[in-house]
Protein backbone atom coordinates (compact mmCIF):
# COMPACT_ATOMS: atom_id res chain seq x y z
CA UNK A 1 0.00 0.00 0.00
CA UNK A 2 2.11 2.82 -1.27
CA UNK A 3 0.97 6.11 -2.66
CA UNK A 4 3.31 7.95 -4.96
CA UNK A 5 2.95 11.60 -5.76
CA UNK A 6 4.33 12.86 -8.99
CA UNK A 7 6.04 16.10 -8.16
CA UNK A 8 9.25 15.25 -6.40
CA UNK A 9 9.75 11.68 -5.46
CA UNK A 10 7.62 11.50 -2.41
CA UNK A 11 6.49 8.21 -1.07
CA UNK A 12 3.62 8.26 1.32
CA UNK A 13 2.70 5.55 3.70
CA UNK A 14 -0.95 4.79 3.04
CA UNK A 15 -1.36 3.72 6.60
CA UNK A 16 -0.21 6.77 8.45
CA UNK A 17 0.46 9.35 5.71
CA UNK A 18 4.08 9.85 6.62
CA UNK A 19 6.26 11.00 3.77
CA UNK A 20 9.53 9.52 2.70
CA UNK A 21 11.82 10.45 -0.12
CA UNK A 22 12.83 6.95 -0.98
CA UNK A 23 10.90 3.79 -1.47
CA UNK A 24 13.25 1.71 0.62
CA UNK A 25 12.86 4.05 3.57
CA UNK A 26 9.13 3.84 3.28
CA UNK A 27 9.18 0.08 3.08
CA UNK A 28 11.41 -0.12 6.11
CA UNK A 29 9.06 2.21 7.95
CA UNK A 30 6.06 0.08 7.10
CA UNK A 31 7.86 -3.04 8.11
CA UNK A 32 9.32 -1.94 11.39
CA UNK A 33 7.67 1.24 12.49
CA UNK A 34 4.19 1.27 11.16
CA UNK A 35 3.53 -2.07 12.75
CA UNK A 36 3.75 -5.40 11.08
CA UNK A 37 0.60 -6.42 12.83
CA UNK A 38 -2.67 -4.66 13.33
CA UNK A 39 -2.65 -3.93 16.98
CA UNK A 40 -6.00 -2.31 17.32
CA UNK A 41 -9.21 -4.12 16.71
CA UNK A 42 -12.71 -2.78 16.47
CA UNK A 43 -14.91 -4.36 19.06
CA UNK A 44 -17.94 -3.86 16.85
CA UNK A 45 -16.89 -5.51 13.60
CA UNK A 46 -13.51 -7.05 14.41
CA UNK A 47 -11.67 -5.05 11.80
CA UNK A 48 -8.03 -4.54 12.58
CA UNK A 49 -6.06 -1.31 12.44
CA UNK A 50 -2.44 -0.34 12.64
CA UNK A 51 -2.92 2.85 14.51
CA UNK A 52 -5.14 3.86 17.34
CA UNK A 53 -6.38 6.94 15.55
CA UNK A 54 -7.45 4.79 12.63
CA UNK A 55 -9.59 2.71 14.93
CA UNK A 56 -11.07 5.79 16.50
CA UNK A 57 -11.75 7.22 13.09
CA UNK A 58 -13.32 4.00 11.93
CA UNK A 59 -15.62 3.82 14.91
CA UNK A 60 -16.66 7.41 14.50
CA UNK A 61 -17.38 6.99 10.81
CA UNK A 62 -18.77 3.50 10.79
CA UNK A 63 -20.44 2.87 14.07
CA UNK A 64 -21.44 6.21 15.44
CA UNK A 65 -24.09 7.31 15.92
CA UNK A 66 -25.37 3.76 15.64
CA UNK A 67 -23.88 2.86 18.92
CA UNK A 68 -23.21 4.92 21.95
CA UNK A 69 -19.87 5.51 23.48
CA UNK A 70 -17.59 2.68 22.51
CA UNK A 71 -14.77 2.42 24.97
CA UNK A 72 -11.42 2.62 23.29
CA UNK A 73 -8.49 1.54 25.32
Residue ranges in contact with Zn ion by CB under 5 A? 13, 15-16, 34, 42, 44-45, 47
Q: How far apart are CA 41 and CA 71, in angstroms?
A: 12
For the bound state, the minimum distance from the C-beta of residue 23 to Zn ion, rounded and expressed in Å, comes to: 13
Tell me how far, at minimum, the Cβ of 20 lies from Zn ion, in Å.
Answer: 9
Helices (H), the chain: 23-28, 52-58
Of 55, 73, 2, nearest in space to 64 by CA: 55
Closest distance of CB 25 from Zn ion, Å: 11
Which of 15/40 has CB closer to Zn ion? 15
Amino acid sequence: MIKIINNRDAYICALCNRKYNSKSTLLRHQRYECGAEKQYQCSQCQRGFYHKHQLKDHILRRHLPDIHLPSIK
